[in-house]
Structure 1
């Protein structure tokens, strides 16, 4: 299944990220994850 990232918001202090993604079947999700802080 192919996913497309629509938008991403990252907090540089905590490394928490939110991404809005969608699939070809018009499913839409908001992912919440911890990104690596460099």
Structure 2
């Protein structure tokens, strides 16, 4: 995982759930190019 967060849920002192949220980063590229 490069970017994101991990959330750990604890209930009665025990880990009951682990959530992993990963963010994907894309390079901004123009969808189309125009020629003049």
* TM-score, normalising length: structure 2: 0.31
Q: Which has the larger radius of gyration?
A: 2
Instruction: Pick the structure with more strand per residue.
Output: 1
